């Protein structure tokens, strides 16, 4: 007796199938595919399974239209004709196939008295829609894609990456989950976009990017992925820095690897952190509070020195302001506060107060 097994696939995971799906294919006498470019062709050949591609119906004459689409009905009839010949037939759905064919197969099988079973794909793993994003970017950068996307380079996209990160920071400050989700998507696009440019150039691809960071995380978390014991988060940080130093022996100076183009408050924070780690805390002799008071005193002098509007007590105003801001960064570190975020929040409050008409 003929038997038809409908094996579901995931559009987001073309070419992948869970174990129960493969078991259904292996147990069948023949696997039928809907198109010649089905993503499972190579896998079926590698597994040594017999398969055929369902031919397009030559005519729709005599097709029962009660099942919906005449094309779907014709294809369903052709598939079940093949089931009558093969015994147990597995029809492997492909990406993009609609529900019309499924309904037509079910109706036609019931009319002919053919046993039918549906093997669903099941629960897709977390992260499958990342593949969808990769496919979209491949399409945009592929033949007939978007002219703007095709013109972009790593250099031309650089400024957008910075803008998107700042927009993410604003979304985080807003506390709105929907805004954070949207901005995270824009940041993720930058990663995928750059990876696709590199893939087109033949230098690396998105798998190299993801694999590289995954391997780094495993290496630097031996207390999770190996047998290293840690007492607390502080020890985790120390281990991280030690492993990082081993991986990057070319970084000899205390400030190597700190991007100098980042915002000034963040740059000062990074330099201060590295200086303290190297045993060269600039505020060791005179604490940040005292340094701030000295800078304020210099800036509050009633008479500029030497008649220059840019100097107080022989110290340039910009140097005094720099000392004051550096001291503020040091004080923020002592209070375990991110100075960049704190100043950003204060700026937002100032704007709200001014726009709200409050003094």
Ordered DSSP codes for 322-343? HHHHHHHHHHHHHTT--HHHHH
- What does the DSSP 8-state code read for residue 14? T
Rounded to 10 deg, the angle between the 288-299 and 317-334 helix axes is 150
C-alpha to C-alpha distances, 184 to 169, 171, 188, 256, nearest whole angstrom: 10, 9, 6, 29
Q: How confident is the model over 287-326, as pLDDT tens digits?
A: 888 888 888 887 776 454 444 444 444 556 778 888 888 8
Q: Is the pLDDT of residue 182 over 90?
A: yes
CATH superfamily of 3-119: Tetrapyrrole methylase, N-terminal domain (3.40.1010.10)
- Token pair 């593949």 is at which residue? 131
Token couple for 72: 């779907």
**pLDDT given for residue 63 in this prediction:** 44
The separation between CA 148 and the C-alpha centre of its own chain, rounded to angstroms, equals: 22
Q: Is the pLDDT of residue 197 over 90?
A: yes
Q: 65 pLDDT band (50/70/90 cuts)?
A: very low
Cα angle for residues 343, 344, 350 (degrees, 5° grid): 85
270: how many CB neighbours lie within 10 A of its CB? 17
**pLDDT given for residue 28 in this prediction:** 92
Q: Is the pLDDT of residue 247 over 80?
A: no
C-alpha to C-alpha distances, 229 to 215, 223, 236, 237, nearest whole angstrom: 20, 5, 9, 13
| The 88-92 sheet, strands edge to edge | 51-53, 30-33, 88-92, 3-7, 115-119
Q: Is the pLDDT of residue 139 over 90?
A: yes
- Token pair 């840019």 is at which residue? 310
Task: State the average pLDDT for the chain.
Answer: 83
| Spans of all domains in the chain | 3-119, 128-238, 262-355
**pLDDT given for residue 59 in this prediction:** 46
**pLDDT given for residue 306 in this prediction:** 47
Could you tell me which of 277, 218, 246, 215 has the C-alpha nearest to residue 228? 218
Contact at 8 Å (CB) between 92 and 31? Answer: yes
212-220, Cβ contacts within 8 angstroms, sequence gap of 24 or more: 219/243, 219/247, 220/244
**Cα distance between the two ends of the chain:** 86
**pLDDT given for residue 98 in this prediction:** 64
**pLDDT given for residue 311 in this prediction:** 44
Partnered with residue 89 across adjacent β-strands are 4, 30
Dihedrals phi, psi of 261, to nearest 5 degrees: -90, 0
E-only strand ranges, 94-248: 115-119
Architecture of domain 128-238: Orthogonal Bundle (1.10)
As a whole number of angstroms, the distance between CA 209 and CA 164 comes to: 19
Mean pLDDT of 10-24: 86
Q: How confident is the model over 200-246, as pLDDT tens digits?
A: 999 999 999 999 999 999 999 999 998 888 889 988 988 887 887 78
Token couple for 131: 């593949």
- Beta strands 311-312 and 315-316, pairing class: antiparallel
Token couple for 116: 């039918």
User: Up-side HSE of residue 49: CA atoms within 13 Å toward CB?
Assistant: 24
């Amino acid at each position: 007796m003929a038997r038809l097994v409908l094996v579901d696939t995931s559009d987001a995971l073309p070419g992948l199938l869970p174990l129960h799906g493969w078991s259904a294919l292996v147990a069948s006498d023949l696997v039928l595919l809907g198109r010649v470019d089905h993503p499972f062709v190579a896998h079926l050949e590698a597994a040594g399974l017999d398969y055929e591609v369902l031919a397009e119906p030559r005519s729709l004459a005599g097709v029962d239209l009660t099942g919906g689409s005449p094309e779907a009905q014709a294809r369903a009839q052709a598939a079940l004709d093949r089931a009558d010949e093969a015994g147990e037939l597995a029809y492997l759905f492909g990406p993009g196939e609609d529900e019309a064919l499924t309904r037509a197969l079910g109706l036609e099988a019931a009319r002919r008295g053919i046993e039918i079973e549906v093997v669903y794909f099941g629960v897709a793993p977390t992260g499958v829609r990342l593949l969808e994003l990769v496919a979209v970017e491949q399409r945009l950068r592929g033949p007939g894609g978007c002219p703007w996307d095709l013109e972009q380079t790593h250099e031309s996209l650089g400024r957008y990456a910075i803008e998107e990160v700042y927009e993410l920071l604003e979304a985080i400050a807003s506390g709105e989950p929907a805004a954070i989700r949207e901005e995270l998507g824009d940041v993720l696009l930058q990663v995928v976009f750059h990876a696709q440019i590199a893939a087109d150039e033949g230098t690396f691809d998105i798998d190299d990017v993801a694999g590289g960071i995954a391997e780094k995380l495993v290496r630097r978390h031996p207390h999770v992925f190996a047998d290293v014991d840690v007492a607390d988060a502080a020890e985790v940080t120390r281990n991280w820095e030690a492993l990082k130093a081993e991986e990057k022996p070319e970084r000899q100076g205390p400030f190597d690897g700190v991007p100098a183009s980042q915002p000034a408050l963040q740059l000062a924070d990074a330099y201060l952190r590295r200086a303290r780690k190297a045993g060269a805390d600039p505020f060791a002799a005179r604490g940040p509070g005292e340094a701030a008071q000295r800078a304020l005193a210099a800036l509050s002098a009633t008479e500029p020195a030497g008649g220059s509007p840019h100097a107080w007590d022989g110290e340039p105003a910009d140097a005094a302001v720099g000392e004051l801001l550096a001291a503020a960064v040091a004080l923020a570190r002592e209070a375990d506060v991110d100075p960049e975020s704190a100043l950003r929040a204060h700026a937002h409050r100032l704007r709200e107060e001014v726009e709200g008409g409050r003094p």
